Structure 1
Amino acid sequence: MSDVVDRFIKYCAVPSQSNPLTADRVPSTESQFDIAKVIADDLRELGAEDVVVTENAYVTAHWPASEGCEDLPTLGFCCHIDTAWQSYGDPVHPQIKRYEGGKLTIGTGRDGKEVFISPETNACLERMVGWDLVTADGTSLLGGDDKAGDAMVVSLLARLKDDPSLPHPRLAVSFVPDEEIGHGAALLDLDEFGATFGYTIDGGPLGEFCYETFNAAEAKVRAKGLSVHTGTAKGIMVNACEAIMKFHALVPPQERPEYTENYDGFYYLERIQGDCEEALADYIIRDHDQAKVEARKETMRKAVDFVNQTFGQEVLTIEIHDQYHNLADVVTKPEYSHLIENARAAYAKIGQEMTCIPMRGGTDGSQLSFRGFACGNLSACYYNAHGVREFVPVPELEAMVDMLQELVALYAKPQVSVE
């Protein structure tokens, strides 16, 4: 196996799901320390400088500039170490499967049913005949989101160690926890990190580049009811679950994720729980336009007011918090135009056309760009993320290390912004 494939499989085999139910601490799960230690050990073995694992499971390090590039600005890379919580993620059994066309059986799921991918589920497979794919065994997600990105960055440093003649500025690398639950690298010490621009590596197919993300907010709707015996409930009982249901019926149904695409925003009911006396519903709000996010917030507040009026008392309350903002507001500034154009040029050097997409989600860069580290988002080459059908094509995984090598070479000279 190539270096990046070997590292990727090793990282995937270390479970490290984040957990939104314990998001009051960072990291939200102890297992994220496990993968942080593995990555930090690899960095130390390669000879990276300033390798640190913080008390919050952030891994940071630096790589010195090649000869003649010492005075250039530091270029940063950021990936995340947690994997998605929406599917099974422990244990993870990575494997390599050769795709020969048609249906490819990955394994057997926890329910005993066959887990497979095919051109019917992923049309992209038609161009991958004869390729090796990294998958899990059907019982869990793989974790390519974002351990493919982790492996790419570490493998890039391995190349730079093996060939000191490869040109590059000083590099700052970070591997952060809890991206999947909206933490967004909030505790990354940017002064210690030392880079004012760079890239996250947390995107989809090879050639993808993102400098537009959603603006994001979360809403917690709480219901306080009154439980009495159902036989004597008339005129007395207030059912908290019924109140939540009335509220949900007022949230525009056509503006849910399953009915939206491209620049469409949405409301998404993440989870609901409760009984007659207490109930809770967690929503997320997404839109590329912040003004539309504010309008969605107002829609939800008005729905709460309406439900309370129907009960004649305050049964529902709502709390809304912003999570992150559209990184295009930063990355499209003239002084950062090189982030887009250098990515395009680096993809071209490996024979790949760059495709810019409006990401229907966020990256760590969605917060970091507003904190002083402007960053676009590069391919991590995962498909079917957050589920048991996830896979990462080996040729794309390896090609992205080539792309990163070309990219850092482009930063081995002063940058000229496009005004």
Structure 2
Amino acid sequence: MSRLSARLFSHFYTPLALLLGGLAAARQPSLNEFFTSLFNVLPTVLLLVGGAFCIAYARIREACLLAVTYLSYFLLDTQVDHYRLTGTLLPEAALTFHLCCLLLPALYGLYALWHERTHLLQDGLARLAVLFAVAVPAFALARRFPEATLDWLAEIRWPFLQADWLPLIQLAYPVFVVALLGLFIQYLRRPRPVHAAKLVVLAGLLLMLPQVFSRPGALNVLSSVMMLALVVSIAQEAYQMAFRDELTGLPGRRALNERLQRLGRHYVIAMADVDRFKAFNDTYGHDVGDQVLRLVASRLRKIGGGGRAYRYGGEEFALVFPGRDLQHCLPYLEAVRGAIESYPLQLRDKTSRPKIAEQGRQHRGAGAAGTVSVTISIGAAERLATQRTPEEVIKTADQALYSAKGAGRNCVRAHGDNRRGAVRAEKQTTSA
């Protein structure tokens, strides 16, 4: 499995783990008093906490998903409680259940695919209007004509699809399939943790509904873990927005600041800067500049020697080596500098770029508008007894970086070493 596919699949780790745990708990014959009480209040707690979290981060779409899931849970919980206490179903139980099976995937899929485009309040009101426009007439019709509505919902329209392993009404399955397909395409287009969670949650709701009356805790447990999966995915994206640089995928400045607070007494910090980066942007445009930053980040991410790369800002990167000394780190810094220099960045003519990815892979290297050689300068500094804080070490590494720039760029220079600390490669002609 490639690193990209592994990273994308990691978006599913948490929601799938929650789903599997919820399915395992729902299959238990009975839950003890503690877990029964917990799962009775957890959906409401998650709605309130998760809803507040979504509003604080302007995630009205996810707030609506929590609301739709909770509304279905609330309607079904009344029926399940009566069935659990008396062993009989309320007269409206079947109709309520079938309506939830149909409307839940329809509204969930609609809200999950509906992008936020306007003001937060306007967006929320629009979604609320859709909820009322769909749910209120449906339940009003069911209340006014219960038998006719139940017969229409339960009608067998496709006899060849009638099977014991498809216990829901037939109309529910096409809606679930369309919604799942739409969410899958959404994830492929924009692989994000919250999009992965939406897909897993909808699949979990599909697995939950047939167990609502047959297993005592299925509704409470699975509703809770599915709502929890949505909240966790929002928190995960909030963390990534705060601590990870979106362009390069490296940890960002805030993550670096957090790491600096946990360094010991011995460490090395190196500052790397892309040579003549402004010239790349001015000559080839900002899209090529972004390619350069991604290229440099991909190589710095592979730094050895126990180091870790961070995007410091602009075209500057920081590399932290906890528990290391300078002489240990210099060979690894030189290796990554050479790896970046030896990788020619191909510039393509956008007008002749194949629109199909497979054709692009087959013709890779052909039709290139030119190549550019990307180089970086690196300044490194070791924490000394005279330096009290990591910020002072960063300033020292910056001084070494300026020294590397003054030495002709494309080299590694250690602070306080004017000769042995500098390793400079022969300049290569930039072609375009």
Q: TM-score range by the shorter chain?
A: under 0.3
TM value normalised by structure 2: 0.25
Q: Report the structure, 1 or 2, having the larger strand content.
A: 1
TM value normalised by structure 1: 0.25
Q: Report the structure, 1 or 2, having the larger helix content.
A: 2
Greater Rg over alpha carbons, structure:
2
Of structures 1 and 2, the one with the larger relative CO (CA 8 A, separation 6+) is 1
